[in-house]
Structure 1
């Protein structure tokens, strides 16, 4: 039976819609804490029915049903990507849930390793409501405004699972929300641009890379009918210069939305510019060497997801993002934790001789400048290979259709080389080489061969 024909399921959705979307605007910190405690106790009871968690907690002598508050979270062991892979498929879902009622999704495979997970339809609906929360912040409505979503609809991805295999077959999403346009970030930017130009949305949400390419096309004179009020960027670090370039190209305000396949949406920027965690949907810890970091200090984010009946995510340490929390309040009045800065993934990092770790937020600026300074998108793909602390190779694939247009390949290579040398310093040799294609089958697009076990981190950049 289609669950959307079930009055009880529809009742749950209606309740969530009324209560959940604007919860952080209505409650104070004390009420949020009580809510987190309740959600955590419910999550612990559910986790005890999932073989992965039942076995892991038995090994360390922890009884999940004895957990009473979110403070007890620190008594639990971390859950790794390997834990989930070892227990896949039956060991990562509850023995009380029919696996046929769940939908399989996978991480994007940025690091060359795809991780399969399961979500349920209510989990997917909560993901939609979380995104609606960000729209409400900017007085946008899925019922009234024209909205373009540029997602990653490759077959295995979370977006494909949520929309193509989740909501659409059960809910007829395109008929229900005729004012929402769904586009694929894997399509050519010119194709995406033409579709947006025809649709003329009030809001565009998409991945940072695609938004940069669209801004360059807009800056070149295309997309006369595209004039959104707001643009939401997600998927990777958005540096301030690229953000400014996108805002000027489209004459629209750009804000960031932060999430992961495993957890769903994690946070977003409010109108005041502060980065808020969705603290009623997820709970984040920020650790360095196993200890909490201070406000403003960079630490590894450990995530716990409160909702869903698919694969539980509890003290999961494989989001791999380095994030600096901020202890304070925002004048917007929302309850919940704040983020000062997202540095990017520590499994896509480069390591310098002086103990500095270059995270994606540092070197993504170099590629962004190709768009807003050199005004070119002829770099089709790249791979960064760090063979040791002192040698860095940047492999570049040039779009043959654009080779003769704009700045020369030599100028682009010099620009990339100078950009990395400015980040790495004089002790690191940087070479830039052209290749026909980059091989990501044996690893990620950023590959460091430095022995991390023997490396002492002094700071993140």
Structure 2
């Protein structure tokens, strides 16, 4: 049965689209902060029902009632990739629930050790709304613009769950989404660029390494008719050289989206090129190398709390392992959230096998 026929789920999705989509432009930063605090306290209460978190909180004598403001979050212990990896499935979801109630997703495992989490269908749609928010800032309309997304469609990957198994396929049963094409990152580059060229998109989204390889092929004469208006990167660090090479090859602007499988979109570049934190999707902190003290001006390792979804909560998670420099500047683009000055770390790039197959970061 298509769960989109469930009126409760449909109602939540409609509310998400109507209310949450434009929150960061509709509300001033102070009200966004208050929303963030309420969502954070709600997530912490939910996490207390999950054995992994319940055990950690009890070890340090913390109860959700002790967390009354954002500042109190510092009392909560961190959660690591190791914590997730070493937990049994039933320890990652609320007591009394079964893993089969959720979709299982895994990180790409660029370190060789993927992390497996459980998410609900509404969380997937919420993430898609975040994607719609981001592309709208660049003049892309989800129901009009012809879009091509190159993603890891391996079984159990988060991208496959969102784009080719659960969320998008369900939407296609009730919405005309012929303008949206999904392509597998594992295709040989020559075949991939041909497939995308035949789709003829105005927008292409992919890992930076994938777009660079497509740019190389275009300079060699492949994909002559491939002329996107705008491109987006995510999933790895976009360095200045790669950005410039891609932009010159396609004669199109590139914007970057920062996020992770465990917590979905965290920040994105606006039309002015500034990275805006998705403050209503996540609460981010920056800590020193020992993960003991919060830092600000000089940057630090990012710690993330996801502010939506059921299944496996992500609270004070250190596993992204990126060094991030926050900014005190303000942007006049209309998005009322704090900025990130620079993102470092996670410089793992796509690997090209002798066969030409691409292994995503």
What range is the shorter-chain TM-score in?
over 0.9
| C-alpha contact 1:150 1:184 (8 A) present in aligned 2 | yes
Tell me the CA shift for residue 71 of structure 1: 1.6
SS of the residue aligned with 1:291? coil
Q: Which residue of 1 aligns with 2:117?
A: 117
Task: Supply the distance in 2 between the matched residues of 1:96 and 1:136 (Cα, whole angstroms).
Answer: 40
| C-alpha contact 1:168 1:174 (8 A) present in aligned 2 | no
Q: Which residue of 2 aligns with 1:294?
A: 296
Task: Supply the distance in 2 between the matched residues of 1:69 and 1:293 (Cα, whole angstroms).
Answer: 19
Q: 1:179 to 1:173 in 2, by over 3 A?
A: farther
1:24-173 matches, within 5 Å, as: 24-95=24-95, 97-168=97-168, 170-172=170-172
Deviates more, 1:237-246 or 1:60-69: 60-69
1:284-433 matches, within 5 Å, as: 284-288=284-288, 289=290, 290-295=292-297, 297-345=298-346, 360=347, 380=352, 399=354
| C-alpha contact 1:49 1:96 (8 A) present in aligned 2 | no
Tell me the CA shift for residue 175 of structure 1: 6.5
| C-alpha contact 2:33 2:279 (8 A) present in aligned 1 | no
TM-score by length of 1: 0.74
Q: Which residue of 2 aligns with 1:376?
A: none
SS of the residue aligned with 2:11? helix
Write out per-residue CA displacement over residues 273-308 of structure 1, whole angstroms, 9 at most, x where no aligned residue. Answer: 10111010001111113222232x231100000000
Q: Please state if 1:265 is matched with 2:265.
A: yes
| C-alpha contact 2:144 2:179 (8 A) present in aligned 1 | yes
SS of the residue aligned with 2:17? helix
Q: 1:96 to 1:23 in 2, by over 3 A?
A: farther
The number of equivalent residue pairs is 356
Task: Supply the distance in 1 between the matched residues of 2:325 and 2:55 (Cα, whole angstroms).
Answer: 32
Write out per-residue CA displacement over residues 98-139 of structure 1, whole angstroms, 9 at most, x where no aligned residue. Answer: 432200000101001011100100110011111111111011
Q: Which residue of 1 aligns with 2:182?
A: 182
1:142-291 matches, within 5 Å, as: 142-168=142-168, 170-172=170-172, 176-288=176-288, 289=290, 290-291=292-293
Q: 1:54 to 1:191 in 2, by over 3 A?
A: same
Task: Supply the distance in 2 between the matched residues of 1:380 and 1:30 (Cα, whole angstroms).
Answer: 46
- Which blocks of at least 5 consecutive residues in structure 2 are unaligned? none
SS of the residue aligned with 1:279? coil
**Structure of greater Rg:** 1
Tell me the CA shift for residue 3 of structure 1: 2.4
| C-alpha contact 1:47 1:64 (8 A) present in aligned 2 | no
- Which blocks of at least 5 consecutive residues in structure 1 are unaligned? 346-359, 368-378, 382-398, 402-439, 446-461
Task: Supply the distance in 2 between the matched residues of 1:102 and 1:177 (Cα, whole angstroms).
Answer: 25
TM-score by length of 2: 0.93
Higher relative contact order (CA 8 A, sep 6+): 2
Q: 1:25 to 1:282 in 2, by over 3 A?
A: same
